[in-house]
A = this chain, B = another copy of it.
Amino acid sequence: MPRDPSPATEERVRDADRSQSTILAAARDEFAESGLGGARMDRIAERAGLNKRLIYYYFEDKEKLFQAVLEQAYRDIRAEEAQLHLLDLDPATAVRRLIEFTWDYYLAHPEFMTLLNSANLHRARHLQGSQRARELNSPLIDTLAAVLERGRRDGVFRGGVDPVQLYVSIAGLSYFYLSNTHTLSAIFGRDLMTPKARSERLSHMTDVILGYLLRS
């Protein structure tokens, strides 16, 4: 029973790439849903619709797979940040835009927060090994520094603001609300994810950051 003897190399490579991406996406979902400790290799294989053995073939073990997922997650957010073009905007608008972007990204990618939580639970050892650690650093820091400097020069922003601190603050205001939304909702006895609640949160965060930055 003669068959096409061997598929074109390029095709095989493409299959291999597709398998890896499929696994990565499945793993991301599983890790996001269950954490590193709660994730199951079986379920990842099932989600991916691929044989479990293949995961080991491509990613060696669970730890390395998590590391790959984490790096991919950083690569994804960095790719989107790169589209922001904050320097094309006036300083206040640029900051507003950054706040909105951060909020929207976390909203659209709740798995990113869960992955970070898992990574930090394990003291970020999955990044330490990564030679790309630095490459995962946000280019936004430099951009934000420029925005802050321009704002200061324009006389609209206060001076002496550390862009890293500000970046962390902007992230933290969204992150805490969204990552802990379930406990907060339970404790305050109200749903924090209704459209109204969400829009109020975004306003508040913008008020806080701009209230702090803008010279009166």
Q: Find A169's partner among B39, B117, B186, B205 (CB 8 Å cutoff).
A: B205
Q: Are B186 and A133 in contact (CB under 8 A)?
A: yes
Instruction: With both chains docked as a complex, state the minimum distance between the C-beta of A80 and any C-beta of chain B, in angstroms.
Output: 16
Instruction: Scan residues 23-81 of chain A and give those whose CB is less than 8 A from a CB of chain B.
Output: 34-39, 74
- How far is B127's CA from A123's CA once the two chains are assembled, in angstroms? 27
Of all chain B residues, which has the CB nearest A171? B176
- How far is B34's CA from A211's CA once the two chains are assembled, in angstroms? 39
Q: Are A179 and B117 in contact (CB under 8 A)?
A: yes
| A residues contacting the other copy or chain, number (CB 8 A) | 60
Q: How many copies does the complex hold?
A: 4
Q: Are A182 and B123 in contact (CB under 8 A)?
A: yes
- How far is B137's CA from A184's CA once the two chains are assembled, in angstroms? 9
Take A168-B184, A212-B208 as given contacts and tell me if A189 and B133 are in contact as well, using a CB distance cutoff of 8 Å: yes
- How far is B187's CA from A73's CA once the two chains are assembled, in angstroms? 13
Whether, in the assembled complex, A83 has its beta carbon less than 8 Å from a beta carbon of chain B, the answer is no
Q: Are A177 and B186 in contact (CB under 8 A)?
A: no
Q: Find A208's partner among B118, B141, B169, B182 (CB 8 Å cutoff).
A: B169
| Set of chain B residues within 8 Å of A35, measured between Cβ atoms | 35-38, 118, 121
State the A residues within 8 Å of B (CB). Answer: 34-39, 74, 114, 116-121, 123-124, 127-128, 133-134, 136-138, 141, 158, 162, 164-166, 168-169, 171-177, 179-189, 200-201, 204-205, 207-209, 211-213, 216
Please name 14 pairs of A and B residues whose Cβ atoms are closer than 8 Å in the assembled complex, sorted by A. A35-B36, A117-B121, A124-B185, A127-B183, A136-B186, A137-B189, A165-B201, A165-B204, A169-B173, A169-B205, A172-B177, A175-B176, A209-B212, A211-B212
